[in-house]
């Protein structure tokens, strides 16, 4: 009986055991199969962290592959805080030695490697707590050797080479190349591909082509333990280096232009202005070289300028003040693209085109060129009150640059328009229309940010009315108050006068303004680039290009991703015959002796025929703006070169000599060495040194950390890191 | 096990006892049982290695230090097990009171000079960094002495059977009370389970069984209601009842344990490859949560195999109980089986989130010498009973 009970209960116990173990098995299977996905996700969330490996930024090179912007290898000493935390003294000894070697104060060093958090005082590390903290950038070879030779004393310390943006030609084409700056919170929010450590193009080509230059950042997925210390690398996605932007800028021509500009400014400043009796201020200037056959920009020189390298690693407040302050003369602004100046007689290209096409004049008609002319209430004179006797043709008027000749047509057109306005018809305003056809009054659409190029100003009745409606109250208030802030009494009186006039009559397009526009004076302003594109239209059969600096986008493996050619905006409404007529009038050595020819006395026109138009623009309270717009060779133009120097006198005395120097440099004339063989820009794309993919990934190699791949530790020799441009490599010490 | 249940109670085994007595020992040892224990011990050593490796590296210590000590524990345990298995069956009965007394003294000593780990005052520190956990040996003492008491009283018919249970309970009360003082609720729970299993198989009235279970429920309720349990113990139960409350330490343990097991999947990450394990997200992983290493690094195949190995082991233990010709041997085997199944279920169950967190080690797998020795001795006891079965087959 007892035995039976015992057996029964033993059986029951067996069943209990079976039930319990089955429960365990079922539960185990449930967790590891059905519940697995969510548990694995949770697991990854807590022990997987992503660290961004920045992609090396692409280069910006000139037409022959010379880098205008590239990357140099900076030696960066970093501390693997995870490795330090695992050391017995939590890295105290290593940090002390590191402070000794680098000269960084130990207290500061200890602090700057702590990840920033609400309760952590600065300096602290703003980056990811899962990546090594850089403590010294641009480390000297002495520091690197000291660490490398005693690796055993520096566990958790590593030296890495990091690509750092640099502009090897410094200020050469600096304004066009632009610079990079740290990404903003707004950009992080709006552009999903950006990471918080990224640099973003802030100006020039760096900004326009930021996306192709940027490349794709890589990711290193690291595992962390329960204390958040990195235990190893799970996977690494190598970054893809950015594409190279090949420009049509020729660094040689660019340098020639910049030097010619700088020298001309210096030369002009040494001269005395006969009109004012003072030395020329020659405050600023620009030179533009356009490939007339393609519309590509070959050189864009502007003075003053700046070296974009000042922006590397963050610009100091003082350096920024020096670039933007009231006494800086605004070197960040390219006068060639963003400068607005009255074009003077160079604008007669548009005026002559107007009168030859609107039926007022023909290539055979003749008009007088009196020394002075009554225009409205004012008497306007030719420059130096000169005059050509008798009746002259449009060609002669252009070559001689007779203002009164063009006034007569402008006045006739103005009267005609006024009677249309009186009859409630739209004014024709043929001159403004022609000016716009040549690209004046609208942005040229160069491939730099829109804010860095100007549209200039071509006033007409509608625009004036609109502006007056908007600003009338300001004009009137200024007229009443009379500019008490302005110290110069004469200037104050002038400004007050203008304000009063604007208050009542600002909406009027008066006959004087029409006359001013005919000779590129008054409110008519253009940028040197706009003028160059207008003259390109003159010499290339009327095509108005949308100019570009970039020629091609080339990926890191050397494949051309995109070829960029300037688009034709439209054809100016001037016949080929008339364009030829105008060109011929302005060609040197053709007998008409155009005004610029004197500046080319002694120039080997037989080797390089030149055509060009000078301009001398008056500006209230300032000395004259000197212009010269030219092309060469005149029979089959390759280049259009425009020069402008502010407060420098006549076109023939400042801008034209500067442009002459530029031709000398390009073609190797007058004792100069040719910067372009045969004077032609390269027709093929330069070979771009491709990026090497290896080492571009910044694998963390630290002590105690299992190495994901065969972690290479290249011997540290000075030549080793000099050869590592565009690479990023880390090695443990 | 099915075969065991159906066996007629009165059938003699058809093997001559005399013939059996001449069998060499290797023919009568339960090799399946021994093999399971050994394999579990080896797997456990690997898991202990994996669980302690990265921390040892961080500390700059020998990454194999825990592995070496656990292998040593296993080796010593095997020696102890062999010795116990080889002791003459009658000697076991003689030694039972001594083992009981010794374990009670050990439990008293732990209260006097013991060290506290995780809130329980359960260890006695020995020289050279060794520690002894007397409550592990107390389990052996209880099983052997209680088996002796119940078997001896059953043989003498002069006393009324009604005294069996109070006497057995009195015997168990001393070590249980001492363990309660540590306090180590988990071990007390094992004691209760072992006592119930042994009393059942000893054939006591079912009223006693039901009454004891009811008493246990009332005591458990009162200890919560009257705040007799320590805060950390309550936390564990709260965490069990509400796993989302992960800010509680115990809830964190279970949560991390489940993550580790879940991320193992079917085949696991491979030894040393578990990120939960390498990242040391699971606290107490080499001891109480050793099963999570298996779950993460060996997956369902490996962890399931461990459960199956335990199942085979328990089957062999219950089989030995079923074949035992006398009540003492049967009760010893039942006690060991109840002990093992209780600890396996509570320990693995807590890592799977179906049992509250208690500080119970997983037999043969958790790191620790005392538990390993006690487990090996228990298997030695089973082998002893098994060999006795072979020599003197079942009779009524």
Top residue of A2, A10, A230 to mutate, by most chain B CBs within 10 Å, is A10
- Phi, psi (deg, nearest 5) at residue A321: -60, -40
Q: Do residues A284 and A304 make contact, with C-beta atoms less than 8 angstroms apart?
A: yes
Position B6 scores a pLDDT of: 42
- Put simply, whether A4 touches B (Cβ < 8 Å) is yes
Position B341 scores a pLDDT of: 96
| Higher pLDDT, residue B392 or A509 | A509
Neighboring chain B residues of A25 at a CB cutoff of 8 Å? 304, 307-308
> Cα(B11)–Cα(B323) distance, rounded to whole angstroms?
11
Environment class of A14 (CB within 10 Å of its CB; exposed 0-12, middle 13-18, buried 19+) = buried
Position A212 scores a pLDDT of: 94
- Are B1 and A86 a contacting pair at CB < 8 A? no
Q: Which of A3, A14, A31 sits opposite B262 (nearest CB)?
A: A31
Q: What percent of chain B clears pLDDT 90, i.e. is strictly above it?
A: 41
- Are B279 and A47 a contacting pair at CB < 8 A? yes
What spatial distance separates the first Cα and last Cα of chain A, rounded to whole Å?
80
Torsion sign, CA atoms A718, A722, A724, A727: positive
Domain A251-344+527-679: give its CATH architecture.
3-Layer(aba) Sandwich (3.40)
Give yes or no on whether A251-344+527-679 and A345-518 have one common fold.
Answer: yes
A residues 13..32 contacting B (CB < 8 A): 13-14, 16-18, 20-21, 23-25, 27-29, 31-32
Position A615 scores a pLDDT of: 95
Min Cα separation B137/chain A (Å): 23
Min Cα separation A77/chain B (Å): 23
Neighboring chain A residues of B265 at a CB cutoff of 8 Å? 32-33, 36, 40
E-strand ranges in A503-595 read: 543-546, 550-554, 560-563, 567-571
For the stretch B288-340, pLDDT in tens is 899 999 999 999 999 999 999 999 999 999 999 999 888 899 999 999 999 99
DSSP summary character for residue A297? E
Min Cα separation A730/chain B (Å): 23
For the stretch A579-616, pLDDT in tens is 999 999 999 988 888 888 999 999 999 999 999 999 99
Band of the pLDDT at B10, cuts 50, 70, 90?
very low
Domain boundaries, chain A: 50-242+691-732, 251-344+527-679, 345-518
Environment class of A292 (CB within 10 Å of its CB; exposed 0-12, middle 13-18, buried 19+) = buried
Q: Which residue of A has its CA nearest to B200?
A: A9
Nearest to A247 by CA among A59, A445, A450: A59
- Are B266 and A40 a contacting pair at CB < 8 A? no
* Secondary structure (DSSP) of A462-529: HHHHHHHHHHHHHHHHHHHH--TT---HHHHHHHHHHHHHHHHHTT---HHHHHHHHTT-TT-BB-HH
- Are A29 and B4 a contacting pair at CB < 8 A? no
B396 inside domain: no
Neighboring chain A residues of B307 at a CB cutoff of 8 Å? 21, 24-25, 28
- The region, left, alpha or beta by phi > 0 then psi within -120 to 50, assigned to residue A177 is alpha
3 state DSSP class of A52: strand
> Cα(A514)–Cα(A432) distance, rounded to whole angstroms?
10
Worst-scoring range by mean pLDDT, A280-294, A360-374, A562-576, B173-187? Answer: B173-187
> Cα(A197)–Cα(A246) distance, rounded to whole angstroms?
26
Position B203 scores a pLDDT of: 84
> Cα(A599)–Cα(A603) distance, rounded to whole angstroms?
9
> Cα(B32)–Cα(B42) distance, rounded to whole angstroms?
15
DSSP summary character for residue A59? P
B134 inside domain: yes
Q: What percent of chain A clears pLDDT 70, i.e. is strictly above it?
A: 93
What dihedral do alpha carbons A527, A533, A539, A543 form, nearest 10°?
-150
3 state DSSP class of A245: strand
Q: Which of B265, B275, B280 sits opposite A32 (nearest CB)?
A: B265
**A719 Cβ contact list (under 8 Å, min separation 6):** none
- Put simply, whether A33 touches B (Cβ < 8 Å) is yes
Average pLDDT over residues A533-556: 95
- Put simply, whether A49 touches B (Cβ < 8 Å) is no
What value does the mean pLDDT of chain B take? Answer: 83
| Higher pLDDT, residue B349 or A75 | B349
Residue with tokens 């001037």: A574
Most confident listed range (A388-402, B105-119, B239-253): A388-402
Position A698 scores a pLDDT of: 35
Neighboring chain A residues of B194 at a CB cutoff of 8 Å? none
Residue with tokens 């082991």: B313
Torsion sign, CA atoms A276, A279, A284, A285: positive
> Cα(B208)–Cα(B199) distance, rounded to whole angstroms?
9
> Cα(A116)–Cα(A128) distance, rounded to whole angstroms?
9
Helices (H), B87-184: 89-113, 134-155, 164-181
Q: Does domain A345-518 have CATH number 3.40.50?
A: no
> Cα(B206)–Cα(A12) distance, rounded to whole angstroms?
13
Position A116 scores a pLDDT of: 79
Q: Which of A24, A33, A47 sits opposite B275 (nearest CB)?
A: A47
Tokens of A465: 């009315």
- Phi, psi (deg, nearest 5) at residue B221: -65, -45
- pLDDT > 80? residue B242: no
- Put simply, whether B280 touches A (Cβ < 8 Å) is yes
> Cα(B375)–Cα(B88) distance, rounded to whole angstroms?
20
Top residue of B36, B50, B58, B321 to mutate, by most chain A CBs within 10 Å, is B58
- The region, left, alpha or beta by phi > 0 then psi within -120 to 50, assigned to residue A240 is beta
Position B2 scores a pLDDT of: 39
- pLDDT > 60? residue B162: yes
Position A141 scores a pLDDT of: 83
Neighboring chain A residues of B203 at a CB cutoff of 8 Å? 2, 5-6, 9
- Are A10 and B276 a contacting pair at CB < 8 A? no
B residues 253..272 contacting A (CB < 8 A): 258-266
Q: Which residue of B has its CA nearest to A45?
A: B259
For the stretch A69-120, pLDDT in tens is 998 888 888 888 888 887 878 888 899 999 988 888 888 888 888 887 777 7
- How many domains are there within chain B? 1
Longest dimension (CA), chain A: 152
Count contacts between A and B (CB, < 8 Å): 153
> Cα(B49)–Cα(B272) distance, rounded to whole angstroms?
9
- Phi, psi (deg, nearest 5) at residue A729: -145, 145
- Put simply, whether B154 touches A (Cβ < 8 Å) is yes
For the stretch A123-180, pLDDT in tens is 778 777 777 888 888 888 888 888 888 888 888 888 877 788 899 999 899 999 999 9
Environment class of A389 (CB within 10 Å of its CB; exposed 0-12, middle 13-18, buried 19+) = exposed
> Cα(A101)–Cα(B195) distance, rounded to whole angstroms?
70
**A97 Cβ contact list (under 8 Å, min separation 6):** A153, A154
- pLDDT > 90? residue A426: yes
- Are A23 and B303 a contacting pair at CB < 8 A? no
- Are B278 and A88 a contacting pair at CB < 8 A? no
Band of the pLDDT at A288, cuts 50, 70, 90?
very high
Tokens of B42: 């080896």
Cis peptide before A695 (omega within 30 of 0): no
B residues 2..21 contacting A (CB < 8 A): 4-5, 9
- Are B307 and A29 a contacting pair at CB < 8 A? no
The β-bridge relationship of strands B120-125 and A133-136 is unpaired
| Higher pLDDT, residue B252 or B172 | B172
- Put simply, whether A189 touches B (Cβ < 8 Å) is no
Position B230 scores a pLDDT of: 65
Nearest to B150 by CA among B201, B100, B99, B192: B201
- Are B203 and A6 a contacting pair at CB < 8 A? yes
- Put simply, whether B58 touches A (Cβ < 8 Å) is yes
Q: Which residue of A has its CA nearest to B263?
A: A40
Neighboring chain A residues of B278 at a CB cutoff of 8 Å? 223, 225, 231-232
Paired strand residues for A272: A279
In Å, how far are A339, A444, A613, B161 from A304, measured between CA atoms? 12, 22, 25, 114
- Are B304 and A226 a contacting pair at CB < 8 A? no
- Put simply, whether B302 touches A (Cβ < 8 Å) is no
Q: Which of A2, A42, A225 sits opposite B259 (nearest CB)?
A: A42
- Are A43 and B307 a contacting pair at CB < 8 A? no
Neighboring chain A residues of B299 at a CB cutoff of 8 Å? 32
- Put simply, whether A7 touches B (Cβ < 8 Å) is yes
Q: Do residues B375 and B13 make contact, with C-beta atoms less than 8 angstroms apart?
A: no
Q: Which of A21, A36, A87 sits opposite B307 (nearest CB)?
A: A21
Q: Which of B58, B262, B303 sits opposite A36 (nearest CB)?
A: B262
Tokens of A39: 């548990």
Helices (H), A270-316: none
> Cα(A58)–Cα(A684) distance, rounded to whole angstroms?
20
Band of the pLDDT at A289, cuts 50, 70, 90?
very high
Helices (H), A341-424: 348-357, 394-400, 403-422
Q: Which residue of B has its CA nearest to A6?
A: B201
| Higher pLDDT, residue B119 or B346 | B346
Neighbouring CB atoms inside 10 A of A325's CB total: 11
> Cα(B84)–Cα(B78) distance, rounded to whole angstroms?
10
Q: Which residue of A has its CA nearest to B349?
A: A24
Torsion sign, CA atoms A302, A281, A328, A443: negative
Q: Do residues A69 and A165 make contact, with C-beta atoms less than 8 angstroms apart?
A: yes
- pLDDT > 70? residue A630: yes
Q: Which of B327, B338, B352 sits opposite A27 (nearest CB)?
A: B352
What value does the mean pLDDT of chain A take? Answer: 87
Worst-scoring range by mean pLDDT, A206-220, A683-697, B37-51? Answer: A683-697
> Cα(A635)–Cα(A292) distance, rounded to whole angstroms?
12
Average pLDDT over residues A213-232: 81
- Are A38 and B262 a contacting pair at CB < 8 A? yes
SS in 3 state form for A691-705?
A: CCCCCCCCCCCCCCC
In Å, how far are B27, B70, B103, B372, B383 from B83, measured between CA atoms? 17, 20, 19, 15, 11
Q: What's the topology of domain A50-242+691-732?
A: Penicillin-binding protein 2a (Domain 2) (3.90.1310)
A residues 668..727 contacting B (CB < 8 A): 704
Residue with tokens 């018919």: B157
Range of the domain at B347: 2-391
Neighbouring CB atoms inside 10 A of A541's CB total: 12
């Amino acid at each position: 009986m007892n035995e039976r009970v015992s057996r029964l209960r033993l059986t029951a116990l067996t069943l209990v055991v079976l039930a319990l173990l089955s429960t365990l098995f079922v539960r185990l299977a449930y967790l590891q199969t059905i519940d697995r996905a969510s548990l694995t996700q949770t697991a990854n969330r807590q022990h997987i962290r992503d660290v961004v490996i920045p992609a090396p930024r692409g280069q910006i090179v000139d037409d022959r592959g010379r880098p205008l912007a590239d990357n140099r290898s900076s030696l960066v000493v970093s501390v693997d805080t995870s490795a330090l935390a695992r050391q017995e003294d939590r890295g105290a000894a290593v940090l002390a030695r590191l402070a000794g070697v680098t000269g960084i104060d130990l207290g500061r060093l200890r602090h700057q490697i702590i990840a920033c958090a609400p309760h952590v005082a600065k300096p602290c590390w703003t980056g990811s707590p899962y990546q090594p903290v850089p403590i010294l950038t641009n480390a000297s070879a002495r520091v690197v050797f000291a660490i490398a030779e005693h690796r055993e004393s520096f566990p958790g310390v590593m030296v890495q080479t990091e690509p750092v943006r640099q502009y090897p030609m410094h200020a050469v084409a600096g304004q066009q190349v632009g610079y990079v700056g740290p990404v903003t919170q707004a950009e992080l929010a709006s552009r999903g591909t950006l990471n918080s450590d990224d640099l973003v193009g802030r100006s020039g080509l760096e900004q326009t082509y930021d996306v192709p230059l940027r490349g794709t950042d890589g990711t290193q997925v690291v595992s962390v333990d329960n204390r958040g210390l990195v235990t190893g690398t799970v996977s690494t996605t190598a970054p893809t280096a950015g594409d190279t932007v090949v420009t049509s800028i020729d660094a040689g021509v660019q340098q020639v232009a910049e030097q010619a500009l700088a020298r001309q400014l210096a030369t002009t400043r040494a001269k005395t202005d006969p009109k004012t009796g003072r030395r020329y201020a020659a405050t600023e200037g620009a030179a533009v070289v356009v490939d007339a056959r393609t519309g590509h920009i070959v050189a864009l020189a502007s003075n003053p300028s700046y070296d974009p390298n000042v922006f590397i690693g963050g610009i100091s407040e003082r350096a920024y003040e020096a670039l933007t302050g009231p006494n800086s003369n605004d070197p960040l602004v390219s006068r060639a693209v963003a400068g607005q100046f009255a074009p003077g007689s160079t604008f007669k290209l548009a005026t002559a085109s107007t009168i030859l096409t609107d039926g007022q004049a023909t290539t055979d008609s003749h008009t007088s060129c009196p020394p002075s002319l009554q225009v409205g209430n004012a008497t306007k004179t030719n420059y130096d009150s000169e005059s050509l006797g008798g009746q002259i043709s449009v060609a002669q008027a252009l070559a001689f640059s007779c203002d009164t000749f063009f006034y007569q047509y402008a006045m006739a057109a103005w009267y005609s328009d006024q009677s249309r306005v009186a009859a409630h018809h739209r004014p024709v305003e043929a001159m403004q229309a022609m000016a716009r056809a040549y690209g004046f009054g609208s942005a040229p659409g160069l491939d730099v940010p829109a804010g860095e190029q100007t549209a200039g100003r071509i006033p007409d009745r509608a625009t004036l009315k609109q502006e007056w409606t908007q600003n009338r109250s300001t004009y009137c208030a200024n007229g009443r108050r009379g500019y008490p802030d302005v110290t110069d009494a004469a200037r104050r009186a002038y400004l007050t006068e203008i304000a009063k006039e604007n208050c009542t009559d600002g909406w009027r397009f008066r006959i004087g303004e029409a006359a001013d526009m005919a000779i590129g004076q008054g409110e008519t302003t253009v940028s040197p680039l706009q003028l160059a594109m207008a003259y390109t239209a003159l010499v290339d059969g009327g095509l108005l290009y949308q100019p570009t600096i970039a020629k091609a986008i080339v990926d890191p493996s050397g494949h051309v991703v995109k070829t960029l050619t300037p688009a034709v905006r439209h054809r100016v409404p001037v016949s080929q015959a008339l364009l030829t007529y105008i060109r011929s009038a302005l060609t040197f050595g053709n007998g008409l002796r155009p005004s610029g020819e004197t500046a080319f006395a002694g120039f080997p026109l037989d080797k390089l025929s030149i055509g060009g138009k000078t301009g001398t623009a008056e500006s209230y309270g300032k000395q004259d703006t000197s212009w010269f717009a030219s092309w060469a060779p005149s029979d089959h133009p390759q280049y259009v070169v425009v020069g402008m120097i502010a407060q420098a006198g006549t076109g023939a005395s400042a801008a034209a000599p500067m442009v002459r120097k530029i031709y000398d440099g390009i073609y190797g004339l007058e004792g100069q060495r040719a910067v372009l063989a045969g004077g032609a820009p390269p027709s093929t794309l330069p070979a771009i040194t491709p990026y090497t993919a290896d080492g571009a990934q910044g694998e963390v190699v630290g002590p105690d950390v299992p190495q994901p791949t065969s972690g290479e530790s290249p011997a540290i020799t000075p030549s080793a890191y000099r050869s590592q441009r565009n690479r990023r490599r880390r090695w443990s010490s | 096990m099915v075969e065991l249940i159906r066996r007629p109670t009165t059938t003699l085994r058809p093997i001559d006892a005399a013939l059996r007595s001449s069998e060499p020992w290797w023919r009568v040892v339960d090799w399946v049982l021994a093999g399971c224990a050994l394999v579990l011990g080896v797997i456990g050593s690997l898991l202990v290695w994996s669980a302690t490796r990265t921390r040892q590296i961080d500390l700059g210590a020998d990454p194999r230090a825990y592995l070496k000590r656990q292998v040593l524990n296993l080796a010593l345990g095997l020696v102890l097990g062999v010795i116990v298995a080889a002791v003459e069956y009658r000697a076991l009965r003689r030694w039972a009171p001594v083992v009981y007394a010794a374990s009670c003294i050990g439990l008293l000593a732990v209260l006097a000079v013991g060290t506290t780990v995780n809130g329980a005052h359960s260890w006695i520190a020995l020289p050279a960094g060794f520690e002894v956990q007397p409550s592990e040996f107390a389990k052996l003492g209880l099983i052997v002495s209680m088996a002796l008491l119940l078997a001896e009283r059953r043989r003498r018919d002069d006393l009324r059977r009604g005294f069996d249970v109070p006497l057995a309970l009195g015997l168990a009360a001393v070590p249980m009370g001492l363990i309660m003082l540590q306090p180590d609720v988990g071990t007390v729970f094992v004691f209760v389970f072992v006592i119930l299993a042994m009393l059942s198989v000893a054939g006591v009235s079912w009223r006693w069984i039901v009454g004891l279970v009811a008493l246990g429920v009332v005591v458990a309720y009162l200890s919560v209601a009257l705040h007799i349990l320590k805060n950390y113990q309550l936390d564990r139960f709260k965490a069990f009842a509400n796993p989302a409350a992960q800010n509680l330490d115990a809830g964190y343990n279970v949560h991390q344990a489940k993550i580790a097991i879940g991320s193992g999947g079917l085949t696991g990450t491979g030894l040393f490859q578990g990120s939960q394990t390498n990242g040391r997200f699971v606290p107490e992983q080499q001891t109480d949560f050793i099963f999570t290493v298996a779950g993460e690094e060996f997956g369902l195949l490996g962890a399931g195999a461990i459960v199956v190995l335990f199942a085979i082991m328990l089957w062999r233990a219950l089989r030995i109980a079923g074949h035992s010709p006398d009540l003492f041997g049967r009760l010893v085997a039942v006690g060991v089986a109840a002990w093992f199944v209780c600890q396996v279920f509570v320990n693995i169950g807590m890592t799977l989130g179906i049992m509250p967190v208690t500080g119970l080690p997983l037999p043969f797998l958790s790191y620790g010498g005392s538990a390993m020795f006690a487990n090996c001795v228990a298997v030695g006891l089973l082998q002893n009973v098994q060999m006795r079965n072979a020599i003197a087959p079942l009779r009524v």
